[in-house]
Amino acid sequence: MKKIIIIGGGAMGSAFTIPCLENNNKVTITEPYSKRFIKDLSSKDKFHSALKVKLSKKLKFRKFSKELLKEKFDLIVIALSLSGIDFIGKELKNLKNKTPILVLTKGLKYEKKDKKISTISEQLKNKYKSINVSVLKGPCLAKELARKNQTSVVIANKNIKIAKSIGKTISTKYYLTEYSRDVIGVEVCSAIKNIYAMIIGAGQSLNSSSNLFQKSILEMKYLIKYFKGKDETISGLAGVGDLYVSAAGGRNSKMGSYLGKGFTFKAAKKKFMPNDTVEGEQLAREIAPFIFKKIDKKKIPLMINFLKTIIGNKKLKIKV
């Protein structure tokens, strides 16, 4: 039995408690921001309003505090939005915590000062001196995990023994783990697939969407190589696997379908998805300054066109 703390009470963080508990771990969850999820998790029946399920009574909810982070845990799981990484990084840095960290959050950060793109694990290691950081990515929709549908994910760490140790702690018959040393490739794949899922969703038909899917894979291969990830990661769970799930049924694909119908992003967001976080749009705004200046535009025409569409709030025009 391991003592696990999950920081982030949203859909994914809360769904992740299910396999952790079923693997006979002692699990605590905390939520720094959302009043909605704090109310859900602190309620007697623990009904999660985003997942539409009751979480286990064994799950312990604790109010977020520095004192909580000072307690002894065997694993710290970060399941915050991308904007919360700086916050939790500073909190952990101040504690000088050496507990193994597992990051569920997907995204990339543009470091304006250094004029480079960094992954979440790089941020935590370089800015906040977190040493033992692993990342978990792959084709996993929170609602399906909450229903215990079979799910496969990949845990990445350059030290594969650490990745396998974490996998042993959290794996169940329905929550299966694979392992990779390609931390950068896994993180870049899991982030940019949100943008390509929107592009594929804009296809409006099986014929055009499948064509966009194929071209998206080619662009992802180029970008992974650019960021010094491994080519084989594209064909794995964090690449093709995650892209398929996001394009078939995620929020990014849903937004992409509205863009394909001629709506601008702002109009579609206001009319159809006012309360939804669209990760692809957030990532597009974050990485656009770097992509426009540093990447060969001829190699990634879908990405370039999409970034211009989002930044300029224009109607999307894709030539398949």
pLDDT higher than 90, residue 104: yes
Average pLDDT score over residue span 82-108: 88
Which pTM value belongs to this model? 0.93
Average pLDDT score over residue span 184-212: 94
Phi then psi dihedrals of residue 188, to 5 deg:
-65, -45
- Structure tokens, 281: 């749009």
Write down the pLDDT at residue 58. 96
Please answer whether residues 239 and 193 qualify as being in contact, where contact means their C-beta atoms are separated by less than 8 angstroms.
yes
Write down the pLDDT at residue 1. 87
Closest CA to 202 of 300, 309, 311: 309
**End-to-end Cα, the chain, rounded Å:** 52
pLDDT higher than 70, residue 168: yes
Average pLDDT score over residue span 284-310: 96
The span from the CA of 191 to the CA of 108, in Å, is 7
Instruction: Read off the pLDDT of residues 211-221 as tens digits, 9 standing for 90 and up.
Output: 999 999 999 99
Instruction: Read off the pLDDT of residues 111-133 as tens digits, 9 standing for 90 and up.
Output: 988 889 999 999 998 888 877 89
HSE value, Cβ hemisphere, 13 Å, CA-based, for 138: 19
Instruction: Read off the pLDDT of residues 42-81 as tens digits, 9 standing for 90 and up.
Output: 999 999 999 999 999 999 999 999 999 999 999 999 999 8
Q: Are strands 108-111 and 47-48 parallel, antiparallel or unpaired?
A: unpaired
Instruction: Read off the pLDDT of residues 2-17 as tens digits, 9 standing for 90 and up.
Output: 999 999 999 999 999 9
Q: How many residues does the chain have?
A: 320
DSSP string, 85-125: HHHHHHHHHHHT--S-EEE----EEEETTTTEEEEHHHHHH
Write down the pLDDT at residue 136. 98
Instruction: Read off the pLDDT of residues 256-276 as tens digits, 9 standing for 90 and up.
Output: 999 999 999 999 999 999 988
Q: What is the mean pLDDT of the chain?
A: 94
Whether the CA torsion 42, 43, 47, 51 is positive or negative: it is negative
Let me know if 148 is exposed, middle or buried by CB neighbors in 10 A (0-12, 13-18, 19+).
middle
DSSP string, the chain: --EEEEE--SHHHHHHHHHHHHTT-EEEEE-SS-HHHHHHHHSSS-EETTTTEEPPTTPEE----HHHHHS--SEEEE---GGGHHHHHHHHHHHT--S-EEE----EEEETTTTEEEEHHHHHHHTT---SEEEEESS--HHHHHTT--EEEEEE-SSHHHHHHHHHHH--SSEEEEEES-HHHHHHHHHHHHHHHHHHHTT-SHHHHHHHHHHHHHHHHHHHHHTT--GGGGGSIIIIIHHHHHHHHSHHHHHHHHHHTT--HHHHHHHH-TT---HHHHHHHHHHHHHHHHS-GGG-HHHHHHHHHHHTTPPP----
Write down the pLDDT at residue 164. 97
Predicted confidence band of residue 320 (pLDDT cuts 50, 70, 90): low
Let me know if 146 is exposed, middle or buried by CB neighbors in 10 A (0-12, 13-18, 19+).
buried
What domains are there in the chain, each with its CATH number? 3-181 (3.40.50.720), 192-311 (1.10.1040.10)
